Structure 1
């Protein structure tokens, strides 16, 4: 059973606030600062290099690179560069990209491609990273939804996080994990989960993003929400690790302080 670790997903607004967020995440015991990827914000490459420069232990990662926005070789080049410049503190997250990425890919003069095209690009990116790394190793996390993506992640990824409906049942989630493990054929993989909501209330901007209010999440026992006292949240995460094997938990920057006592308890700080 793997030890818990925790990530914070944040978006750079300006240099000063981004540096403050990185320092705060490290101070509170989070393992990783994670940056999303789209053309409406600064490139993750710049922000993550900056975050690593103002911290000493904090890992940095993409959550996740949308493969339609780069060729496989360009994404691997950026990833290996960050691994080198952060002294091995970079984690490459890859995903096929939301449908909205079709327009952004077009702006860059790149094809959005079919679902299989995008999975092939993920696979090629990972192969290029492994070639460039040589004796180093860039941990690669794949964000997966469908069965083909789960099989690819099991075969090639170091870390796997799961996308899809926030109303997925625990049994369905366990089935997705089994798909990954079956494809892994005994390889050691870290299982991750993004929690969208910490507490009893869903901020309006988050409700718009996930398409569900607090009552709906509670009624469906959603894995995308965690609530109650610190003891309640600690117990719930331990149950998830015991049953599902999930040990790497990420939360949104909006909850960085609210969730910090849980991080402290489960990391022994």
Structure 2
């Protein structure tokens, strides 16, 4: 990723019905997004099933988890299912992983699986990656082509792990973080990686434009600064220039956005994707 060309992903969690879900995936593809992504919570669609459905409705867009909570599934089970989704999507699958957000503990309780301590979850994450990379391809006894691996990371230890094991690192920052808050995570990634130039660095947008739905405004709270890493405002050219400056300063080239803002960000995608 030495050239750090821009990629853009749409994060979608649910839909009114299967037809609308397929339509969301097709719309993201038509708008020029590189990936169609889905989270992993018990209040949203089961991610690997949802992405299999999206694969059948699309032809070129990448499909990824954003991100799977590793405590939910045995590594071997997950590797098997990942191989299947990668096959069904024609190799378009990208595996996003995380050690488990804080509220994943409640989901683990509902699933009847242990959440585990931080060390245990890091070991589970490492084992998932190992199993995925050695699992046989569908219909073969030999390992299949491994999907790209994205790891969501925030603290120093997780950033170090991601730098050594991921293709893409999604830097998980609070919406109240100003733009220069990327400096320290990127410094830690550079220190931990043997080949920093190969790493793709991802940041997420919570809001695009000036209009924010009331429920989202309540979720974000009143303390989001104008230069928040998660907010992008202005004309398409102004927004594109801000992302260009962010890439120049912090090497962040993979930008994800909530599906509700996919159309609003589309002119920026047209200006920057693949450049």
TM-score by length of 2: 0.91
Q: Which residue of 1 aligns with 2:139?
A: none
Structure 1 equivalent of residue 5 of structure 2:
3
Note if 1:39 corresponds to 2:42: yes
Task: Name the counterpart of 2:225.
Answer: 218
Aligned residue in 1 for 2:250: 244
Deviation at 1:55, TM superposition (A): 0.9
CA spacing shift, 1:12–1:171, aligned 2, 3 Å: closer
Which residue among 56, 59, 63 is the counterpart of 2:62?
59
Distance 2:173 2:6 in 1: 23
Range that drifts further, 116-125 or 253-262: 116-125
- Aligned mates of 1:64, 1:245 — CA distance in 2: 21
Per the TM alignment, residue 200 of structure 1 is displaced from its structure 2 partner at its CA by 1.8
- Name segments (4+ residues, structure 1) moved above 4 Å: none
**Partner SS for 1:80:** helix
Match of 1:263 among 250, 269, 272: 269
1:175 equivalent to 2:175? Answer: no
Distance 1:140 1:100 in 2: 23
3-state SS, counterpart of residue 95 of structure 2? strand
Is 1:152 aligned to 2:161, yes or no? Answer: yes
How far did residue 208 of structure 1 move? 3.7
2:203 corresponding residue in structure 1 = 193
Look up the match of 1:97.
Answer: 100
Q: Work out which of the residue numbers 213, 216, 230 in structure 2 matches 1:206.
A: 216
**Aligned-pair distance for 1:75?**
2.1
Report the RMSD for the aligned CA atoms in angstroms: 1.7
Q: How does 1:14-163 map to 2 (within 5 A)?
A: 14-132=17-135, 134-163=143-172
Aligned equivalents of 1:189, 1:239: Cα separation in 2 = 18
The SS at the match of 2:9 is strand
Please state whether the residue corresponding to 1:217 is helix, strand or coil.
coil
Shift of 1:268: 6.8
The alpha-carbon distance between structure 1 residues 21 and 113, as it changes in their structure 2 partners (threshold 3 A), is same
Structure 1 residue 96, shift from structure 2 partner: 1.9
Answer yes or no: is the 8 Å Cα contact 2:68–2:98 preserved in 1: yes
CA deviation digits over 1:76-127, x for unaligned, max 9?
2222221122111000111122222112111222101112221221111111
1:12 matched to 2:14? The reply is: yes
Alignment CA distance shift 1:74-1:268 (3 Å): closer
C-alpha separation in 2, matches of 1:25 and 1:56: 12
Q: How many residues align?
A: 265
1:107/1:82 CA distance change after superposition, 3 Å = same
CA contact (8 A) 2:7 2:274 kept: no
Structure 2 alignment gaps of length 5 or more: 137-142
